[in-house]
Amino acid sequence: MAQAQGKDRSKTKSTKKYDALGFILGIVITLVISVAAKYLANLPFLSIMGQLVIAILIGIVWRATIGVPDPAIAGTNFSSKKLLRLGIILLGMRLNLTDIAHAGPKVILIALICIAFAFFVVYAIAKWFKVEKKLGILTACGTAICGAAAVVAISPQIKANNDETAIGAATVAILGTIFTLLYTVLYPVLGFTQHGYGVFAGATLHEIAHVIAAAAPGGEDAVDIAVIVKLTRVALLVPVAILIGVWSSRSEKANRTNGGKMTLKSLQIPWFIFGFLAMSAVTSLGVVSAAFANNVVLLAYMLIGMAMAGLGLNVDIVTFKRLGMKSFAAGLIGSILLSVLGFGLVYMLRMM
């Protein structure tokens, strides 16, 4: 009997060691993909897509071709959830609240209008197309705020599963890339000044990488204002995430406690978002040097790249075809309407 117990303990230790190695392997796979995506993003055409978009696409292809060993799934999930939150917190170093304040009220106004319009329009279209509710919300948030980063930040608020999160992130990432290419081609015929074109790109495109790539033909002035407008939208991720958390808690009876009354514990508030704000405050107050802040942002993108890789590794092509085509169509129509709105707002607010 003692001998049998010894064998059981030995087997348990072996299993734990096997699980630990699989966990590490999963993290390493996402790191390799994130690093590869970073270097690929330096290539001429791929720079338009950006590191995060490339990372999630590599992850999807990796799963479809090489596959992911079962023991490694725990590690890829850790990257897509835990490392993601750390990455979003550190990304706050990218946001200088002083720059947003100096840009003036018109920039904040156009960001608010575009976010509200894109969210409600994309969500309404997704609902009309009978897209699953959570996927519709994620697609709407990604289109309205800041692409894949918004999708993965909002996902815990509505308790979206891995498929919904990955498909939502991939959808807005691909859409953003398509519209970046279109903006680059259309720039000469839009009739904007450098400033106006930068405002237009920053107010309507999805990822920061998309905004920078699309604004580049307009010159440095266009890129500078585009980034400020875009970061204003990124800053609004905080209140939007909190509002969605409150709304989600109210809409789910399972989350109600204390006789149906809401409690602080029952609210789905993304506490890591306050870490994002804290990092923004550090940058805005000049506590750290610009060089240090830039290095932290590079680390943040590496971590979020690992998270995108983890999401991509969870995407099943069959599932994407089944769930993702309608959400893609909703995002496409919403993105077209957002571009039209942004074009009109630049002229109406005389920011051209």
* pLDDT for res 64: 85
Categorize the per-residue pLDDT at 129 as very low, low, confident or very high, splitting at 50, 70 and 90: very high
User: Tokens 């994620």 — which residue?
Assistant: 138
Give 280-293 pLDDT, tens digit per residue.
888 888 888 888 98
Using the 8-state DSSP alphabet, how is residue 286 labeled?
Answer: T
User: Which residues, 6 or more positions from 215, have their beta carbon under 8 angstroms from its beta carbon?
Assistant: 197, 198, 201, 202, 222, 223, 226, 227
Cα separation, 128 vs 245, in Å, equals: 23
Give the residues across from 261 on adjacent strands: 257
228-213-174-73 Cα dihedral, nearest 10 degrees: -80
State the average pLDDT over residues 1-8: 52
Out of 6-10, 49-53, 274-278, the most confident range is 274-278
* pLDDT for res 264: 46
Q: In a 10 Å sphere around its CB, with 0-12 CB exposed, 13-18 middle and 19+ buried, how is residue 288 labelled?
A: middle
pLDDT at 229 over 80: yes
pLDDT at 266 over 50: no
* pLDDT for res 308: 80
3-class SS of residue 315: coil
* pLDDT for res 299: 93
pLDDT: is 248 or 332 the higher one?
332
Tokens of residue 132, six digits: 């699953």
Give 34-53 pLDDT, tens digit per residue.
999 999 988 877 777 778 77
* pLDDT for res 269: 54
* pLDDT for res 270: 57
- The candidate with the shortest Cα–Cα distance to 128, out of 301, 264, 329, is 329
Quick check: pTM over 0.75? no
pLDDT: is 50 or 217 the higher one?
217
